[in-house]
Amino acid sequence: MPYNRGSNYTIRTERWCRSCNAGTPQISCGCEYSTPEKFKVPSTLVRNVTWICRWCNETEVESKEVALPTDRMKIIRRFLSLSDDYDLMGLVIEAGAGELVFRVRLPDFDMSEMRAIQYKQEETGFITVDELMKVQRAGYERPTAVPPKPQPREVATLRKRERQQAFAGGPRPYD
């Protein structure tokens, strides 16, 4: 599992060690990117990952060519991350010969209002009939059926949100 703090990280896994001639626990202590000796199309980088065997302290450098992401891939990744940040009912991507078609289904109701009703029921133990009707018009039988807010996969975005909540005085969990 990677341990990420800024740009430094450590990967611990079991890999084959040539000097031990067995699968041993190893640690990745560095990753460097460099340009290849010959220019290639599409553009590539050489990724050099340094692995250290924990049994014999043998160092091995694993080199692999990695293609740089194209503009098409960057656009697709950006659209796929929409569901991490916003409440979407559906997202469909169709690829043609030179075009990308994105269909995004948005809810007809305000999900933040549905979650506010859900939090109110959790805290006070009751809600009004009008609030229950809003939840049922949104397609949920009970406020407990409202899904949680989507969480992004990027660690930087998660940390940014945590800092914002800490300084904004957001709700704190009861322990």
In order of start, what are the domains of the chain with their CATH numbers? 3-67 (2.30.30), 71-105 (no CATH), 109-150 (no CATH)
pLDDT over 60 at 59, yes or no: yes
**What value, to the nearest 5°, has the Cα angle with vertex 158 and ends 154 and 162?**
170
pLDDT over 70 at 170, yes or no: no
Give mean pLDDT, residues 51-61.
92
- 3-state secondary structure at position 139: coil
**H or E stretch at 95:** strand 90-95
pLDDT of residue 168: 61
Q: Provide the strand spans (E) within 35-109.
A: 44-53, 59-67, 90-95, 100-105
pLDDT in tens, 74-92: 888 888 888 777 777 788 8
Q: pTM (2 decimals)?
A: 0.46
pLDDT of residue 8: 64
